[in-house]
Amino acid sequence: MKVKTLLLLLIFNVNVQALNVADQLNNFFQSGSVFVHKSLNKKNNNIEESNGLFERYNDHISIDVFSPYRETYYIYDDEIEIVDIEFSQIRYIPIEDLENNFF
C-alpha cells in the first residue's frame, strides 16, 4: 500500500513539474525574444551569425531574421509561411509535409 501511495505521489509530482515548466516556457515566449545563432561554415571554416526576433501570438509564432538575410517565418497549426524579404518571395509548407519527412 505504501509503495502504491509513494508511486502515485511521485507521478503527481512529475506531472506538476511538467506543467510548471510548460507554463514557464509559455511565459518566456509570450514576449518578444531576441536571438543570436552562431554556426560553423565548414566550407569557409568561419563562424556565421544570424540574429532576429522570436514572438509568440495567439494563433501563430513569428520569427524575424534580420541578418545575414532578411526572412520571416510564420508558424501556424497547419502550415509554415516563409517570407524572403530580399527576393519578395513567399513559400508555404504544410505541417503534414514535415511530419511525413524524416530529417
Phi-psi region of 88 (alpha: psi -120 to 50; beta: other; left: phi over 0): left
- Single pTM value for the model: 0.64
Q: 90 Cβ partners below 8 Å, 6+ apart?
A: 81, 82, 83, 84
43 residue type, one letter: K
Cell of residue 39, nine digits: 554556426
pLDDT tens digits, one per residue of 50-100: 899 988 888 888 999 998 889 999 999 899 999 999 999 999 999 888 777
How is the chain split into domains, by residue range?
1-30, 32-103
Dist. CA 30–CA 26, nearest whole Å: 6
Phi-psi region of 45 (alpha: psi -120 to 50; beta: other; left: phi over 0): left
